[in-house]
Amino acid sequence: MTHTHPHFLIVGQGLAGSWLAYRLIQSGQHVVILDVDLPGASSKVAAGLIDPFSGRRFVKALHSDVLLPFAKTAYTEVENHLNCRVYYPKPSVRLHAHADERKAWERKRCWPELSPYFGHDMGDFPGFHAPFGGVEVKEAGYVHVSVFLKAMADFFMALGCLIQRPFCEKDVLHAERVIFCEGHRGKENLFFKHLPFSNVKGDILTVDHKAQLPDTLVHKGKWILPLSPTRFKTGASYIRDYVDFEPSLAGRTDICTFLSDTLDLPASGYHVAAHEAGVRPILSDNRPVLGFLSEHPNIGIFNGLGSRGVLQAPYYAEKLTRHCIDRSSLELDIHISRFRCA
């Protein structure tokens, strides 16, 4: 390492590592980031969706009332600081896939904790098969993740704190604290072999089309994110038993079947311009993991953001920064101590 004894060594410059390094630097800490472009990183291909709901039956995402406004403020701050555009509010519609989904929404539409996120009841939705209608969803949008990561990398490079090489064991000796933000590679980290990672590979397609589709984010089990009047991203597949990091034929077929069932458009009316895949870091309880090992208090982790990384990373990076600087406590449901060593 070319830097002498930094306060913090961050391993990985994905969403988790970028936000954590950014907050620590703002707090006046000497930070070094190690990063290398390895296959399978979900941050590199993520669509960056922001949505208050999780799943198909209008289950509110955990802590979304706090995470949504925090994320919007945080990304706006980065835009102003780094002179880039990364956060895009986007109209969003959830189409009911079948009658039971519509009934689930009709039961929940007036629930006080959910009703602020519901907009208009949608009937026919131009360009889409929507026999059961749908509902407008408020507070949705997306983050252009690749632009965000590039802007962060440029910021770190200008400060001279980003080193593009892999972590090696002797690096532990040259930093006061090391925090691993390795995404799916956390599963192979020997310090955290007791953590129950349950990583999932997801395929994402970029599709060119000839239809007049609304400029609206559409969910119907999977999602469609318009990028321009003639291009959208769509996904994602959900593959637990993956054998490599390559885009899969099974994933592509799954998404294309979704498009055939969802778009009011013949297969000849669109074609796949790009096919990417990434592995999402997920723990068995579907919560992030933060904190330091009790047996190695200089070794920490920030991981497990899963498919909601753009929404969760800013908030939990701030939490971990305050824990590092002010010794503030971390809630048990996100702290590494909830997983006992075997």
SS3 sequence of 216-281: CEEEECEEEEEEECCEEEEECCCECCCCCCCCCHHHHHHHHHHHHHHECCCHHHEEEEEEEEEEEC
| Residue 323 dihedral angles phi and psi, to the nearest 5° | -65, -40
39 pLDDT above the threshold of 80: no
* Tens of pLDDT, residues 316-326: 999 999 999 99
- Amino acid 268: pLDDT: 80
3 pLDDT above the threshold of 70: no
Domains, the chain, ranges and CATH? 8-46+145-197+284-338 (3.50.50.60), 200-280 (3.30.9.10)
Which pLDDT band holds residue 4 (cuts at 50, 70, 90)?
low
* Tens of pLDDT, residues 275-313: 999 999 999 999 999 999 999 999 999 999 998 999 999
- Identify whether the C-beta of residue 54 lies closer than 8 Å to the C-beta of residue 63: no
How far is the C-alpha of 257 from the C-alpha of 299, rounded, in Å?
45
Cα dihedral across residues 97, 99, 104, 108: positive or negative: positive
1 pLDDT above the threshold of 80: no
How far is the C-alpha of 146 from the C-alpha of 66, rounded, in Å?
25
Cα dihedral across residues 170, 173, 175, 180: positive or negative: positive
- Identify whether the C-beta of residue 11 lies closer than 8 Å to the C-beta of residue 178: yes
Query: Residue 206 corresponds to which amino acid?
Result: T
Beta bridge partners of 205: 234, 275
Which pLDDT band holds residue 342 (cuts at 50, 70, 90)?
very low
Which pLDDT band holds residue 267 (cuts at 50, 70, 90)?
confident
By percentage, how much of the chain surpasses pLDDT 90? 82
341 pLDDT above the threshold of 60: no
pTM value > 0.75: yes
| Residue 250 dihedral angles phi and psi, to the nearest 5° | -60, -40
How far is the C-alpha of 281 from the C-alpha of 130, rounded, in Å?
33
How far is the C-alpha of 320 from the C-alpha of 291, rounded, in Å?
7
* Tens of pLDDT, residues 46-96: 999 999 998 777 888 889 999 999 999 999 999 999 999 999 999 999 999
Average pLDDT, the chain: 93
The pLDDT of 225-229, averaged and rounded, is 95
How far is the C-alpha of 303 from the C-alpha of 319, rounded, in Å?
13
